[in-house]
Structure 1
Amino acid sequence: MHLAIFALEVIGVLAIREKTRRDYLSALNCHVFPKYGGAALVSLTKNDIQAIVQELDPPIAAKTLAALKTVFREAIDYGHLEASPTLGVRTKPIRNIPRKFLRWEEVKEADFGKYGCQIRFLAAHGLRWSEALALTPSDFNDGRISVTKSIHGETKSKSSVRVVPQLTEFKEFPRSPKTLRNVLDPYGVCIHSLRHTYAYLLKQQGIHVTTAQRLLGHSDSRITMNIYTQVLDEEIDSAAALLRLKI
């Protein structure tokens, strides 16, 4: 049984989220099948798998390895293999580089032109662009917003299904994210950074990290903690001022 034939067959029927299925197929089609798609399942070794992921950027390598682990796990269940060649394969660690983002005060004061309402909405609610674009009037009730879908259908993960308090006005979003990107580019930030604006706003208000995780729709609290542990220069100045009162 060839790798590509088996992988496409099992991933097509696995009980996984559609986004995960798309991610797996994309990773395999781009980084595995061109060289190893025609190889027999039993011929692939740990060194082959390590060579595949070693050449990729860490986030892409992690997704590709996850896809391969799933395929070979199924191959074992089907009786094609006795052990997975992915055992012991390691990817390079993902470096958590702090993203640049605007504080809420900066978002409020900035002139984003006719898309100011949409940008402030994202910054004040922590929604992903794909989630905001999928909102309908029925998602707004009693001062709350129900986030249950994205323009891709399902949300990014089960944890992304959530309810957040509505704090600003909602206006329809442009169909292409490029429109907002062009508005944000002069400020040196991206659409996703507006989620960091929201996370930092929660931190400033003393919202506990587990509550912030729920509001942001993070599946892993470590993602939220990576944002919460970012320290801005003004926080260091504030800490210095407090210390001077005691010393």
Structure 2
Amino acid sequence: MLNNTNNSPLFYEYYAQWVDVYKKGAIREATMAKYLMTQKWIQKLAPELKVSELTRTAYQQILNDYAKEHERQTTLDFHHQLKGAILDALDEGMIERDPTRKAIIKGKTPRAKKIKYLNQFELHTLIANLDLSEEPNWDWFILLVAKTGMRFSEALAITPSDFDFARQALSISKTWDYKGEGGFLPTKNRSSVRKIQIDWQIVVKFSELIKGLPEDEPIFVGESKIYNSTVNDVLTRHCKQCGISEISIHGLRHTHASLLLFAGVSIASVARRLGHASMTTTQKTYLHIIQELENKDVDLIMRTLSGL
């Protein structure tokens, strides 16, 4: 039997309780933050709406209002987070029908996102400008990210025990919670757990750098809290000194991938090295590079055939 309308809780209050019961402690803090942000948006968009008043029209209006300020993909994520709570409300008999059925997902037109990365000459210039002292510093961190394509949180979590110098390999099995209270966290996805081959220069340099350091403690994490902006500032300063394009630490990951693709490394191999869940992610992220390479392939094909 359906709850009386007068006794029905406000939708945003029900959602807050649902998040607390079903999501708290079961998901990563970064994901939890997204659910809490969704809760704030419901309160903003429909502060008086009760669960019992959740019709298809009412729900669609929430999505439409949210979509006015967000891109379609963000609106779709918003919809998925709400739908989980709403379906549970349906199971509990708080509403009679599923208001999310046949929902229309709208959103602002995505802005053209230009990936910033360095070319091979610029990266070579940057690396030559790094101050690789005897102690670990952010310049060492920049070098490692440039040479491996690791995510920021993955590189922060690297410990001396992750290096296998004999096999020229580096194990990625965890991340560092730099957005929270610190400490190790799982990787972004199962595909992110991987071994990355490292070149002999990294082997020689890092085998000396980590001598005497605690085996299972992060190389680049000290006692103070780490901010992404701190490392980006160091990298920006180097870029300015070198007179090259200014990029972020994440831009070094893009640089790593783009150089491998231009060198002829397969998309599958690049995807595995980056820890992407699928090649589709790699293809979408580096579509402009792949299209440029395809144009070169066409020229190569024509030159080959014309020579027959």
Superposition TM-score tier, normalisation by shorter sequence: 0.7 to 0.9
What residue is the counterpart of 2:197 in the other structure? 165
Q: Which amino acid aligns with 1:42?
A: S
Local SS of the residue matching 1:100: coil
Deviation by residue 1:38-61 (Cα, 9 ceiling, x = unmatched)? 531232323322233212331543
* Deviation readout 1:88-138 (Å, 9 max, x if unpaired): 230336456231211344212225543443222112212111111112222
Is 1:80 paired with 2:87?
no
Mapped partners of 1:233, 1:91: distance in 2: 28
Question: Secondary structure of 1:32's partner?
Answer: helix
Q: Deviation of residue 236 (structure 1)? A: 8.9
SS at match of 1:163: strand
SS, match of residue 91 in structure 1: coil
1:47 to 60, 81, 94: 60
Greater mean alpha carbon deviation, residues 127-136 or residues 207-216: 207-216
Match of 1:71 in 2: 85
Aligned-residue identity in percent: 26
Q: Is the 8 A contact 2:235 2:249 kept in 1?
A: yes
In the alignment, is the contact (CA less than 8 A) between 1:126 and 1:198 conserved in 2?
yes
**1:179 matches 2:230:** yes
Name the structure 1 match of 2:12.
Answer: 4
- Unpaired runs of 5+ in structure 2? 1-8, 132-137, 178-184, 210-218
Work out which of the two has the higher radius of gyration on C-alpha atoms and give 1 or 2.
Answer: 2
Q: Does 1:17 align with 2:31?
A: no
- Whichever residue aligns with residue 190 of structure 2, its letter is K
Q: 1:228 to 1:54 in 2, by over 3 A?
A: closer
Q: Is the 8 A contact 1:103 1:197 kept in 2?
A: yes
TM-score by length of 1: 0.80
2:37 to 21, 26, 30: 26
Is 1:98 the equivalent of 2:114?
yes
Tell me which of 173, 178, 186 is aligned to 1:148. 173
For 2:170 and 2:106, locate their aligned partners in 1 and report how far apart those are by CA, in whole Å.
Answer: 38
1:217 to 275, 292, 298: 275
Shift of 1:81: 2.5
Pairs aligned (count)? 246
1:203 aligns with 2:218: no
Alpha-carbon spacing, 1:89–1:158, altered in 2? closer, same or farther (3 Å): farther
Please tell me the root mean square deviation across aligned C-alpha atoms, in Å: 3.2
Query: Any unmatched runs of 5+ in structure 1?
Result: none
Aligned amino acid, residue 21 of structure 1: M
Find the residue that maps to 2:195 and give its secondary structure. Answer: strand
What residue number does 1:129 align with?
152
Find the partner of 1:117 among 109, 130, 140: 140
TM-score by length of 2: 0.67
